[in-house]
Structure 1
């Protein structure tokens, strides 16, 4: 019996692998297969050798490190831009001196730069759960975002204590994590992000008396080792075709700029230029949307592009017009997705807390720093009036704008509210199964929200479970996801959405085919009235490509709401917001069964509640209770459910 189950599991895995090959395409599949072959055969261990452990500060190098030819903001400019937030920057920098760091924009925790011994070659690590924790909590301090805080504090105050702390912690990290040994070398993207942060910080600290020749030589050796780690696994980044490719490409270009005497400079510069431009030109859609269908990864992409333009222009290289046009469109897209009052965005798609070069005192979830910096660089205009979010624009003193006629067709705007409807045409693997998810904002409050991500690599139920359909503001049928889950990060049988009527300023009509295997199509109509009343009409229709079958389905409509005081009368839910009562009225043609859950527990209705229901995660590793309101009906298509949102005047 056990052997039979094992054979079934093997057969199913083979079936999924074949399906993945067909759906991902032969190029992506072959690139990934080549990466796996070089990894499992031991070739990557040969291509990325480890040296004999030695005291890093004792090394001398045959090539010099050159500070970038960049113009830093003046201390006066920085003080004016920061205003009252200058004290906040120094406070965070002083926390780092006390070995406290704010990972993913959270509260300060101990800064740990060492990992458990003995260290293995990076290819020996098979799990993303290391030392009893998600590997991202090991990686994040190793991205050296905290070093940019010290650099900015030094530039603002001139206090050498921040320079000394940078070199002390950098030496500690490099001593504890020799090249190609330990978890900090597993991912070439992590290596590239660390290289970029070290480069920025060195540029700021290079004029300090604490930056000795010995320390500069130490950093040159380290950056050379970092750059050498990237090319052997660039096939993996190409197979991913996302932020990995962009960050690794610009990491190589940065190293080539910083170490002009290194023999690998021509190769690094060629690979960096080629794959960065290819990535931008192929990963950004015509409407400005990013291939990851994630607002946080969209921000990361724009930050990477800002750094790329800064470094490339310091070398006299100008980004191609096609690249700049795509970046202009991507900037418009994120600008339109940013709430005017709060600077926040819908928490769409995967959110791993990434924020490279966090050159701002604004909170993690305030997107205005990147939007304004990208606006100046790629559009020649800002999206928001002057404020503390403009510090990042000072650091990225680049301006090579292009024009964009892109417009986000998924967005509707009311008098005091706005909404975004997720309707994707996937040409790369999705991160979340969220077709026709609706994010709704009113007076800068995210009243219908996306659950976010929370954790990628924890044991169940927190093994990327917030990527599933049932936690999004959409329809679930018979408890099935819209797509087939093959691996933790791999969804197959991609649901594709399309507009079935041209979008207008008050109406969106979209459908997706994620339930075609059940013989039905989900259509959603979103309409806004002049009084900020929103009507969302969901219809489950028989798929016209198949014979009509009168089969009863369990059709569940879900809304994820803030954790506010609530009252329920029938299927009309009232929420007590800071500005008065918000009403959500749901109607249907058949009997409706309402259900409310919070923090994995049932508050109203019947049935069991999955532990991941009723949570919202605004940043990686943190979750807060939310209200999960769902209504289920049991009927044969066609079935219509109508949600009406009404806000106090």
Structure 2
């Protein structure tokens, strides 16, 4: 671990957190040599761990869900697995889970440390040679066993049974407690524990006693680890929700575990508290990311399902937050797809092994189905979670014209007949390190006739991203103004910020938005103010910078598949050779880039690990007067609302 990483992290720690980290470090050192054997977690009981009634609801899966399960399981049983935009090497059907597969990075082709290394001795955050730790973690979440479990329960499929039992035997053999990369992150242990609980709940009666014994040992070791190393203080974001959900479900599904009742009660309280903290009253996730918000809610929903089936439903604030999230998601989405605001690592709780471009919508619909409320969000692809949580009835899905503001989370949406504009005037992120935030204050997103035009660039990569990780979080990558080439907020690590811009909505009406942020105030003596006004044929965006004149860059990042033709001070945007909108700026100081070999060369990340060319319009000038962008929609034959 680099000294710089520690210094930057310490800057964001309170005295209480420093003390907590010291205790945590002592515990990590003391576990070495003491907790590294399966014998330590041997089980007396052979009861099958069960989340109440999960098997029953899966047996009621619809034909569409069954078809999706068949498709997924066919690929898995053929030795094919893909995630995070990468295909793992195909394995023979009769040897799906060799021990070495658990350590493989499918991008680099190299293997990470396994049982030969104590987990906390592996400096994964700054490893550059082996690849991105996320790929190894993803496979070790064991989520590919969930559709196989459903297939086994529904069809008594012998191949699915053999695959599940082989995977669990191999994983158990490869990963003694506290040994290897898979034991060093609480969220990873929580996800894996939940996967195994889902598997044993759905199809446990079809599995051998030896397999159930191994599952119980793995779960007992995970429960011990989660209680010993909780995420607290600046780490208490979606990781804490994941850990609490894991502990609650472990306590419910394995009541014979020592301290299970106490663990479940404490975890339940944490979950209800954290959902109230991490989903604002207006529904915006505190981490500012639709996908991380959905991820957190999926953890909470599975725990809430277990609680309700036990006759102990979660409280009314929990319900209100989840319904509010669905309403926020509906307001910000384009054609049912949430914009990739801030980070997105494609984390799932219930997984099918297929891409899910409408994942947040799936979770919003699951929440509405769970509470028996019609959903304002467009339907998503059939999924195993539809069987688990139910399918929501369709509600009103066309937003009313005018302004909708989410004051807690800091988003305003302007709906007109042909376009939707989303403006960000919220916080950078959550807690002191704002781990998953992007420096995008006052950025705008625009769709025309339901199709995205101005977009967020996305995430691309985490640990292995290096300078690309920084670029996709930077101010210059977003649809806003940069002063003197500096980011509004200052990065101090791949998941840390040393200075955070504060944004403020100053004025809002059905036709006008006025917001500002102070990210440049201390360093450059400047405040960026943005005024957005609806005009007869489109929009007018005026950017104003206080203080002395300075060099500025105004960026508009367009969606992939659009074409830009520049003529003087105007840029005409077309799709399939049909003009759709014209941008006019003060003069012809344009730079248009599409997929060029540089960071600002016009790139968008549609999914984790992928980046594709997309037009980027950059205007450079001085801040000596307001910079006005006129956006005029081109009339279309048969335009739709």
CA apart distance, 1:205: 1.2
Distance between the aligned counterparts of 1:200 and 1:54, measured in 2?
22
* Match of residue 539, structure 2, among 511, 534, 542: 534
C-alpha distance in 2 between matches for 1:13 and 1:256: 36
Aligned residues: 597
| 8 A Cα contact 1:104 1:353, kept in partner | yes
Q: How does 1:174-189 map to 2 (within 5 A)?
A: 174-189=172-187
**Secondary structure of 2:508's aligned partner:** coil
How many Å apart are 1:251 and its aligned residue? 0.4
Residue 69 (str. 1) matches residue 52 (str. 2): yes
Q: Is the 8 A contact 2:424 2:443 kept in 1?
A: yes
Distance apart, 1:470 and its partner CA: 0.7
Q: What's the counterpart of residue 513 of structure 1?
A: 518
Determine if contact 1:561/1:629 at 8 Å carries over to the other structure.
no
SS in 2 for 1:145: coil
Give me the whole-angstrom Cα distance separating, in 1, the residues matched to 2:606 and 2:584. Answer: 27
Residue 54 of structure 1: CA displacement? 6.7
Q: Which residue of 2 aligns with 1:120?
A: 117
Using the TM superposition, name which of 469-478 and 557-566 deviates more. 557-566
How far apart in 2 are the matches of 1:524 and 1:329?
A: 27
CA distance, structure 2, for counterparts of residue 72 and residue 338 of structure 1: 33
Q: How does 1:247-286 map onto structure 2 within 5 Å?
A: 247-286=242-281
Aligned to 2:415: 413
Q: Match for 1:495 among 494, 501, 506?
A: 501
**In 2, distance between residues paired with 1:641 and 1:174?**
62
Deviates most, 553-562 or 193-202: 553-562
Q: Structure 1 residues 106, 418: closer, same or farther in 2, change over 3 A?
A: farther
With over 3 angstroms needed to count, the CA separation of the structure-2 counterparts of 1:458 and 1:528, relative to structure 1, is same
Name the counterpart of 1:153: 151
What is the aligned counterpart of 2:488 among 482, 488, 495? 482
Q: Which runs of 5+ in 2 are unaligned?
A: 92-100, 104-111, 393-403, 637-641
After TM superposition, the structure 1 = structure 2 runs for residues 167-566 of structure 1, keeping only pairs within 5 Å, are 167-208=165-206, 211-234=207-230, 236-339=231-334, 341=335, 343-358=336-351, 363-378=356-371, 380-384=373-377, 388-389=381-382, 392-397=385-390, 408=406, 410-425=412-427, 428=431, 429-430=433-434, 431-458=437-464, 460-504=466-510, 506-517=511-522, 518-529=524-535, 533-542=538-547, 550-566=548-564
- Which of 594, 613, 629 is equivalent to 2:590? 594
The TM-score with structure 1 as length reference comes to: 0.84
Separation in 2, partners of 1:529, 1:155: 58
1:256 CA drift (Å): 0.6
* Equivalent position to 2:74, from 94, 111, 123: 94
| CA pair 131-14 structure 1, distance change in 2 beyond 3 A | closer
Q: Is the contact made by 1:81 and 1:388 (CA closer than 8 Å) also made in structure 2?
A: no
1:78 aligns with 2:66: no
Cα distance in 1 for partners of 2:366, 2:619 equals 43
- Cα 1:503–1:509 shift into 2, 3 Å: same
After superposing the two structures, state which structure 1 stretch, 471-480 or 256-265, moved more. Answer: 256-265
Instruction: Single out whichever of 63-72 and 449-458 deviates more from structure 2.
Output: 63-72
Q: Which residue of 2 aligns with 1:605?
A: none
- Counterpart Cα distance in 2 of 1:73 and 1:529: 55
- 1:313 is paired with a residue whose SS is helix
Deviation for aligned residue 1:43:
2.5
Deviation of the 1:539 alpha carbon: 1.9
Of residues 295-304 and 570-579 in structure 1, the stretch that sits farther from structure 2 once superposed is: 570-579
Equivalent residue in structure 1 for 2:621, among 633, 639, 647: 633
Output the CA distance in 2 between the equivalents of 1:159 and 1:345.
Answer: 36
Question: CA separation in 1, counterparts of 2:599 and 2:381?
Answer: 39
d(CA) in 2 for partners of 1:54 and 1:323?
38
Q: What corresponds to 1:135 in structure 2?
A: 133
Pair 20,360 (structure 1): closer, same or farther in 2 beyond 3 Å: closer
The structure 2 residue matched to 1:642, chosen from 597, 621, 629, is 629
Q: CA separation of 1:459/1:410 partners in 2, compared to 1, >3 Å: closer, same or farther?
A: closer
Deviates more, 1:449-458 or 1:199-208: 199-208
The superposition leaves residues 50-88 of structure 1 with CA deviations (integer Å, 9 ceiling, x where unpaired) of: 6566799x9653463332221546678524344xxx544
SS in 1 for 2:467: coil
Structure 1: tracts of 5 or more residues without a match: 1-8, 400-405, 543-549, 602-609
Are the equivalent residues in 1 in contact too, given 2:247–2:264 (CA < 8 A)?
A: yes
